[in-house]
Structure 1
């Protein structure tokens, strides 16, 4: 998925920011329009950093419903890696499903 995003972003002259924990450190060299930010391995550290960086109208790709919900609150466009878009109409049901599954 990352490679597809990086290739498509280049076509549209968009910057890509990848946020990952040091546990997922990579020596892979990315093109100039890609920035990688590493955070510690604490639970939710990557999510906190993403939320610090995220601005209105940014595009976030995540499978994390909680992070998606927070990003929608910042008026970002939020996509699931399988292709569907999170929005204010579907996020409540997704979060409720996650909660019921966790119970």
Structure 2
């Protein structure tokens, strides 16, 4: 088992939480990011900055039973199909039964924006987000480490 972090848009606090919990559970952390990011990790994979390049590398690294951190719903859907446990940096575990709804919602919002509509962006990250993420990751690691 390994913890894979789609580190292109991952907050530094989330990356630190991943490193800490991975040490506690003795599992390796793999980070994947474009060369534009300065990430210090024992297992860091640098990719180009082409669209989807980091996602493709994450998919190639992932195996059933791994845990992945990503805020990309499309990547999460593909990882869930491989048997990978996925959660977002906000501490939301992606559920295989609900991912299709999330993807449909994402497409509807994108269509609305293409038509000139405006949607709200993400809320500013707060300390509670880090706490929620840590609790969610801890729960996943506890369940699959048994």
Runs of 5+ in structure 1 lacking a partner? none
Cα displacement (A) at 1:88: 1.5
Q: Which has the greater radius of gyration?
A: 2
Structure 2 CA distance, aligned partners of 1:29 and 1:54?
A: 20
Q: Which has the higher strand share?
A: 1
Runs of 5+ in structure 2 lacking a partner? 1-13, 112-146
- The corresponding residue for 1:6 is 19
Question: Deviation digits for residues 14-65 of structure 1, max 9, x if unmatched?
Answer: 10000000111x1x544xxx31100011100000000011000100011100
Shifted more, 76-85 versus 60-69: the winner is 76-85
Partner of residue 67 from structure 1, selected from 50, 63, 75: 75
Would the alpha carbon gap of residues 93 and 18 (structure 1) be closer, same or farther in structure 2, given more than 3 Å must change? same
Q: Please, what TM-score do these two structures have when normalized by structure 1?
A: 0.90
Q: Please, what TM-score do these two structures have when normalized by structure 2?
A: 0.65
- The corresponding residue for 1:22 is 35
Secondary structure of the residue aligned to 2:36 is helix
Secondary structure of the residue aligned to 2:63 is coil
- The corresponding residue for 1:46 is 54
RMSD: 1.1
Number of residue pairs the alignment of both structures matches: 98
Larger RCO (alpha carbons 8 Å, 6+ apart): 2
Q: Which has the higher helix share?
A: 2
Moved over 3 A (4+): none
